[in-house]
């Protein structure tokens, strides 16, 4: 989300402060409106070679309040930080791991069987998630086949409660659990077992890292609750961005991908 630095968008911040009632009513309308299924909005992606690693991003149905907005920080919730976060992250992943990667992200949906072509994907703002029955079925199959989700950029009790509910629809017999710092995901490439990243726009949030495992104990997803790792990726080319925090966020992302590729 583009709300990290006081110098970024002062005009917008000023408007938000002066019209809290309007903002509150807008949020109520967004949450209350029913979800509708819609095609992925027209958008541009960097050229992609299917023989190279692709970092995918899942879209999901949104309510009508979001449909006219362009993808990105002020667009549908699932598109927040797009496309900069993917493009910046792929540069770093290529440099440190020597993976042959595509230069940008690719938007996919659990509504389409195309999702099975991309075993590692990013999932944002799941507090708004409202899966269709087809998405529930394909998500279950995707994860049990070996797919891996990086769930990021959501916060607050309501958002977590909604995500737990949606995951119960996908896996009635499994539950989100905290991922201990002894898990291989924290040491599979970098040793980040004692590395804790502050949330980028609310230092008072307490991040938690949750997951759901398959029958063999493999993590099928890593859930960055009360944090927004990709926000650091998105703003990593900004001179106001703290370099240390950016590097730490990239280490998290690299470990998540390398864990998924090796487990």
Report for 4-8, 24-28, 41-45, 208-212: range of highest mean pLDDT: 208-212
Distance CA 58, CA 149 (A): 9
Cα 52 to Cα 109: distance, rounded to the nearest angstrom: 20
* Mean pLDDT computed over 141-158: 97
Cβ atoms of 131 and 166 within 8 Å: the answer is yes
Tell whether the torsion through CA atoms of 56, 61, 62 and 68 is positive or negative: positive
| Residue 209 DSSP code | E
The DSSP string of 162-183 is: HHHHHHHHH-TT---EE--TTS
**The pLDDT of residue 205:** 93
pLDDT of residue 20: 40
The pLDDT value recorded for residue 95 is: 97
In this prediction, residue 150 carries a pLDDT of 98
Superfamily of domain 10-262 in the CATH hierarchy: Domain of unknown function DUF4159 (3.40.50.12140)
pLDDT tens column, 160-170 = 999 999 999 99
The average pLDDT across 179-185 equals 98
Q: Which secondary-structure segment (H or E) carries 115? A: none
Tracing tokens 């949906």 back to the chain, one arrives at: 109
Domain ranges of the chain: 10-262
For residue 38, pLDDT beyond 70: no
State the pLDDT at residue 6.
34
Give the C-alpha separation, 108 to 113, whole Å: 9
pLDDT for residue 34 is more than 70 = no
**pLDDT reported for residue 65:** 63
Q: Rounded distance, CA 247 to CA 253, Å?
A: 10
Say if residue 59's pLDDT is above 60: yes
Q: What is the pTM of this model?
A: 0.85
Q: Which residue has the higher pLDDT, 113 or 242?
A: 113
Residue 218, both tokens: 């493999």
Q: Above pLDDT 70, what percent of the chain?
A: 82
Q: Mean pLDDT across the stretch 76-100?
A: 96
Q: Residue 16 pLDDT more than 50?
A: no
User: What is the pLDDT, as a whole number, of residue 33?
Assistant: 46
pLDDT (0 to 100) of residue 242: 85
The mean pLDDT of the chain is: 86
Task: Give whichever of 15-24, 176-185, 196-205 has the largest mean pLDDT.
Answer: 176-185
Q: Compute the average pLDDT of residues 56-81.
A: 85
In this predicted model, what pLDDT tens digit does every residue of 183-205 receive, in sequence order?
999 999 999 999 999 999 888 89
Q: How far is 131 from 128, CA to CA, in rounded Å?
A: 10
């Amino acid at each position: 989300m583009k709300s990290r630095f006081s110098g970024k968008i002062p005009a917008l911040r000023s408007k938000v402060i002066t019209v809290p009632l309007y903002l509150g009513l807008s949020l109520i309308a967004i949450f209350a409106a029913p979800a509708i299924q819609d095609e992925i909005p027209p958008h541009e992606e960097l050229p992609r070679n299917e023989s190279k690693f692709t970092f995918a991003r899942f879209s999901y149905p949104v309510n009508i309040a979001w449909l006219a907005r362009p993808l990105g920080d002020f667009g549908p919730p699932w598109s927040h930080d797009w496309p900069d976060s993917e493009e910046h992250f792929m540069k770093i992943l290529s440099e440190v791991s020597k993976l042959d990667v595509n230069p940008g992200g690719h938007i996919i949906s659990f509504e389409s069987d195309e999702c099975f072509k991309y075993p590692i994907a990013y999932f944002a703002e799941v507090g708004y998630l409202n899966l269709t029955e087809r998405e529930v079925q394909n998500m279950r199959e995707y994860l049990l086949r070996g797919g891996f989700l990086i769930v990021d950029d959501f916060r607050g009790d309501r958002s977590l409660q909604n995500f737990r509910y949606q995951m119960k629809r996908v896996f009635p017999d499994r539950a989100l659990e905290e991922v201990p710092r002894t898990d291989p995901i924290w040491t599979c490439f970098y040793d980040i077992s004692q590395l804790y990243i502050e949330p980028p726009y609310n230092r008072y949030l307490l991040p938690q890292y949750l997951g759901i495992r398959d029958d063999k104990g493999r993590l099928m997803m890593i859930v960055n609750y009360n944090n927004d790792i990709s926000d650091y990726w998105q703003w990593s080319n900004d001179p106001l961005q703290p370099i240390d925090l950016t590097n730490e966020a990239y280490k998290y992302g690299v470990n998540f991908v390398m864990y998924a590729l090796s487990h």
